[in-house]
Amino acid sequence: MSKLNRKLLYGLSIIIIIILIILGVILGQTFKSFYLTNYDQRIEKETNLLSTFLESHIPLTNNISNQTMNKISKDLNIEVYLYGDHNNLIAKSSNQDNTLNLSDKKLKEFISRLDQSNEPVKFKQKDSDARYFGNKINDQKGNKQYLLIDYSIKSIKEVYRSIWILLISLLGIVLVAIIVLVIRYSHQFSKPIEDITQVALELSKGNYKARTYTESNEMTTTLSQAMNVLAKNLQEMTMQQEMQQDRLNTLIHNIGSGVVLINSRGHVNLINKTYKEIFKVDSRSIIDELYYDAFTHNEIIEIVEEIFLKEVKVRRQITLPLSIERKHFEVYGAPIIGINHEWKGIVLVFHDISELKKLEQVRKDFFANVSHELKTPITSIKGFTETLLDGAMENEELCKNFLTIILTESDRMQTLIQDLLDLSKIEQQNFKLDRTNVSINNIIEDVQQMLKQKAEEKNIDFKTYLKSPLVVNGDALRLKQVFINLMDNAIHYTPAGGKVFITSTETDDQIIVRVNDTGVGIGKNEISRIFERFYRVDKARSRNSGGTGLGLAIVKHLVEAHKGKIEVESKLGFGTSFIVTLNKDLNI
């Protein structure tokens, strides 16, 4: 039996028991009162009848015998006593020696009341079932005698007890009938309610797939249908909300800019993945923190405080030191205002513009360097040409020297322009490699033969220690261009009597070539910049030797075009190693 059925059974049983008890008490008392009233009226009538009968027998003392009194007592089921003027017993209906069950005081009181009344008098004692009726009898001579009748209500109490037994029995039968009916019919009404209750509990737990499938009666059909419709609507709303939440989370966490949400009290509520990656923070360390504790940069704190104070949008470019580098950000902050103009908080968006700033600086440097690099040879050519035109051509030796310088400067300009064209071509999106299976060993040997004389002129020990065959899938001409630049730089920056040697290692997927020298080396602060355009470690020496400052930039782009990487290990005064890592298959 379910909990609801038990409650229903207990409630109905208690109500029925209380009703039956109250009804029994009311009926019992009503019956008892009605029966006692009728009984008293009957005894009163019998007392009057006996009084009339006894008055007709004169003299009263001698003509009435105990036998007559006994017959009257037996017929009427009462005890009859006859007393004289002096409270002396004249006759009685029984042969017992005792008199009335009254004390002398009570008997005198009873007879005194009879003497003062011309009607039958009722008399009873407290805490006793005995009751008495009496009447005064007068003969023609005026003699007084007193008729007393003793009757008990024990029989009425027996009937009263029988009534209670009957009521209790009836109560038991009714209770059994109620239990049977409740068990039989309560399931029909309680089962749908229990199912609906269970569905409501599941909905409160967030299980919006719960439904009630029990066949309901007319009283619960509407409730069941309404509950199912509610569950369906909640499920659809939850699915839409979850979908929107997933889209929003995906957008926020995968957007290319850092996003921070701060509530109206100044606590950080959300940071996205990009922000964590940029600032190298853990969300658990700053979520729910106040903004001035969560942010370590005063520039960000000032932006937040300005939005809180002025309630306006703020857009500002700031530069922040992060780890070993400085990054540029365009920070956009805006207040979040609710529908009812309720302040919800603020949102901060961090756009990383470091690359744009870097490209802008590279562009500026590029034009400055190109202008500077072209200005020197053009100035030289113009100056020597004007000198020749002014009459220097008549001096054959001087003319020859000037023309040699003009040719050198023209070659320098041609090299610079060719390097710029190569770099521009490599950086184009449609740049393609002429891919074939290439032996790195053969390429390096060819380059060694090309540069051997230059190394011998400086008395440099120039050797290769390569494994054979070092085959990769790449562009032979471009790879040759890479190693010409690297090996030429190694010889160029190695003092006379130094060493330049090339080594290699091979794995299943890659070939690693190291170009080593014992030259001047590169400072730690300059290693990160040597692949920039026009950057020279030794500016005066490089320019005087005809270097354009674009060689390593070209090398880096060509290696990356082969999906490889180039690294540098160097120590100032102890030489440099350029490590080129190439994939054997460009599809890897």
Residue 280 domain-assigned (yes or no): yes
The CATH number covering residue 411 comes to 1.10.287.130
The answer to which of 95-109, 300-314, 511-525 has the lowest mean pLDDT is 95-109
Q: Is residue 532 part of a domain?
A: yes
Average pLDDT of span 309-330: 86
pLDDT for residue 346: 92
Which candidate, 63, 75, 81, places its Cα nearest to that of 147?
Answer: 81
Do 19 and 141 belong to one domain? yes
What pLDDT score does 315 carry? 92
Domain shared by 109 and 50, yes or no = yes
What band does 187 get if pLDDT is binned at 50, 70 and 90? low
Per-residue burial over 130-163, b if 16 or more Cβ lie within 10 Å, else e, is: bbbbbbbbebeeeeebbbbbbbebeeeeeebeee
Residue 542: which pLDDT band, with cuts at 50, 70 and 90? very low
b/e code 85-106 from CB counts within 10 Å (16+ = b): eeeeeebbbeeeeeebebeeee
DSSP-derived 3-state class of residue 122: strand
Number of domains in the chain: 4
Do 413 and 510 reside in the same domain of the chain?
no
Residues 467, 511 within the same domain: yes
Confidence bin at 93 (pLDDT 50/70/90)? confident
Asked whether residue 554 falls in the same domain as residue 538, the answer is yes
Residues 120, 43: Cα–Cα separation, whole Å: 10
Question: Of 93-97, 176-180, 423-427, which gets the smallest average pLDDT?
Answer: 93-97
List, for residues 338-365, the tens digit of each pLDDT value.
Answer: 777 888 899 999 998 888 887 777 677 6
Co-location of 577 and 440 in the same domain: yes
365 and 274 both lie in a single domain: no
Residues 266 and 391 in one domain: no
Strand partners, 149: 80, 133
Q: What is the pLDDT of residue 230?
A: 84
pLDDT of 277 higher than 80? yes
Which of 167-171, 176-180, 530-534 has the least mean pLDDT?
Answer: 530-534
pLDDT average, residue stretch 209-227: 72
Residue 235 pLDDT class (50, 70, 90 cuts):
confident
Instruction: Please indicate, yes or no, if residue 151 is contained in any of the structural domains.
Output: yes
Residues 303 and 415 in one domain: no
- CATH classification of the domain holding 289: 3.30.450.20
Q: Tell me which H or E stretch contains 336.
A: strand 325-337
Q: Is residue 488 part of a domain?
A: yes
Contact predicate 327/354, CB 8 Å: yes
Q: Examine the pLDDT at 206 and tell me if it is beyond 60.
A: yes
Which residue is it, tokens 């028991």?
17
Could you tell me if 449 and 482 lie in one domain?
yes
249 lies in some domain: no
Q: Is the pLDDT of residue 328 over 60?
A: yes
Lowest mean pLDDT among 101-105, 328-332, 563-567: 101-105
Given 352, 382, 397, which residue is the final one in a domain? 352
Q: State the average pLDDT over residues 550-557.
A: 79
Residue 540: what pLDDT?
44
Q: State both tokens at 436.
A: 């074939």
How many residues does this entry show for the chain? Answer: 588
- Above 60 in pLDDT, residue 539? no
The mean pLDDT of 373-384, rounded to a whole number, is 75
Give the helix ranges, DSSP H, for 390-521. 396-427, 440-457, 476-492
Residue 38: inside a domain, yes or no? yes
Q: Are the C-beta atoms of residues 483 and 515 closer than 8 Å to each other?
A: yes
More confident residue, 458 or 132: 458
Q: For the chain, state the CA radius of gyration.
A: 63
Same domain flag for 346 and 403: no
Cβ atoms 552, 531 nearer than 8 A: yes
Asked whether residue 132 is assigned to any structural domain, the reply reads yes
Examine the pLDDT at 327 and tell me if it is beyond 90.
Answer: no
Is 250 a member of any domain? no
Closest C-alpha among 299, 356, 346, 305 to residue 322 = 299
Average per-residue pLDDT for the chain: 78
Last residue of a domain, one of 352, 380, 413: 352
Whether residue 194 contacts residue 43, with contact meaning beta carbons closer than 8 Å, is answered with no
Mean pLDDT for 78-94 is 74
Mean pLDDT of 34-42: 78
Beta-strand runs (E) in 33-88: 79-83
Q: CB burial class (10 A; 0-12, 13-18, 19+) of residue 498? A: buried
* pTM attached to this predicted model: 0.43
* pLDDT for 219 beyond 70: no
Surface-to-core class of residue 211, CB atoms within 10 Å of its CB (0-12 exposed, 13-18 middle, 19+ buried): middle
Which range of residues forms the domain containing residue 329? Answer: 255-352
pLDDT band per the 50, 70, 90 thresholds, residue 131 = confident
Identify the H or E element spanning 434.
none
The answer to whether residues 440 and 470 touch, using CB atoms and an 8 Å cutoff, is: yes
Instruction: For 71, list phi and psi in degrees, rounded to 5.
Output: -65, -40
Structural domain ending residue among the three candidates 407, 426, 445: 426
List, in sequence order, every residue forming a beta bridge with 331; answer none if it has no partner.
316, 350
The 10 Å CB-count burial string (b at 16+, else e) for 454-487 is: ebeeeebebebebeeebebbbbbebbbbbbbbbb
Residue 170 is predicted with a pLDDT of: 78
Whether residue 489 sits in one domain with residue 451? yes
**Cα 446 from Cα 480, distance rounded (Å):** 8
The mean per-residue pLDDT over the stretch 33-54 comes to 78
Q: Which two tokens stand for residue 277?
A: 């990656």
Higher per-residue confidence, 504 vs 547? 504
Q: What is the pLDDT of residue 543?
A: 46
Residue 106, pLDDT above cutoff 70: yes
| Range of weakest confidence among 17-31, 225-239, 248-262, 326-340 | 17-31
Is 502:577 a contact under the CB 8 Å cutoff? no
